[in-house]
Structure 1
């Protein structure tokens, strides 16, 4: 009985247990890696089941009870029953142009500058693509995609080859192709809002609170 009570006390205090965490690719190096390193130092007895879900949206994993928490891009204005969303950061989209492009000399581009260009798609259907398309719609146009790509490195390669321009979120540009230039955009600046999605039934768990604190710290850095 004493051993069982001690084990239960450790679990309640967040010293032991298991957390199922899901994330999408570009949040891995920027957010998950430093957050998980800190979490393991502070909660060495907690096992973390960490999986990447790309190209699928990780939010359904939380909604259906298969994960305790996920790093997600939240579609604007959509609420999900049973899920608590904690804003981590806003990730702005940047224009990616081939070197020598007629717009490359400008430091900041109006989004409408790109309206007549051939576009290289960098997103799978989902909230990230929605954020980009909504920005273009607000600027009064729909992108003319001539090449589709499901990842940012491949999209940069198509841009470097002169096949078109692209919009890629800042977190997706950690490894830039040497033959492209990256410029800020405005009017509007498309942004994907990155959140931690947590099952409301898991909110009181100390270990989960420790991981959320580590994520917030990584986001501010």
Structure 2
């Protein structure tokens, strides 16, 4: 979503300086609160709020389960999360809100994932899955680059979903470069596949 939004911002406001950074901090919202960043794209639970900040909801990104092709559970299009309780798991995310979401969803289904392989990115996790080392939860946005040897299926009971927001300080003008960027981010988010519409199979 960020790349097309920044492209529009550069086109409509060619004199604006843009510095993009990927920050691995425990709380990325502090960058905006302190004025070190004008906007931050953050992931968190639904209905997230923070005093002094305006959190613009961009989209909800559902999680899919990645299974090795040929896995006995790969046949049905939808799996109960409890069906995966006995499986070895590949951790696809570093500690933080996305991994927390996986742990909370599994706990709600009455289990705790047995992580036998750990990575901090979805591509590596899918490689582990393709090699038969376990299963992993992967958000739909990351699942767009599905690896060969991996099957993606929806999960339910519960359905893990991460919400993606653009965070700005309260009182940020709706006009000007930052307003353009927020509009462009919302438009880019609206072009993402809606939940349950993208094909999950090979």
TM range (shorter): 0.7 to 0.9
Bigger relative contact order (CA 8 A; separation at least 6): 2
Deviates more, 1:126-135 or 1:180-189: 126-135
Deviates more, 1:148-157 or 1:126-135: 126-135
Distance 1:137 1:77, change over 3 A: farther
| 1:170 to partner: Cα distance | 0.7
Aligned CA RMSD, in angstroms, stands at 1.7
Q: How many residues align?
A: 191
Conserved 8 A contact 2:46-2:162: no
Q: Does 1:137 align with 2:99?
A: no
Give 1:200's match in structure 2, choosing from 170, 179, 196: 170
Counterpart in the other structure of 1:71: 41
1 or 2, which has the higher strand percentage? 1
Q: TM-score, normalised by structure 2?
A: 0.88
> Which runs of no fewer than 5 residues in structure 1 stay unpaired?
1-30
- Give the structure with higher Rg (CA): 1
Give 2:158's match in structure 1, choosing from 179, 182, 188: 188
Which SS does the other structure have where 1:72 is aligned? strand
| 1:92 to partner: Cα distance | 0.5
Which SS does the other structure have where 2:75 is aligned? coil
Q: TM-score, normalised by structure 1?
A: 0.81
| 1:132 to partner: Cα distance | 1.6
Counterpart in the other structure of 1:101: 71
Conserved 8 A contact 1:71-1:197: yes
Distance 1:123 1:55, change over 3 A: farther
> Which runs of no fewer than 5 residues in structure 2 stay unpaired?
192-202
1 or 2, which has the higher helix percentage? 1
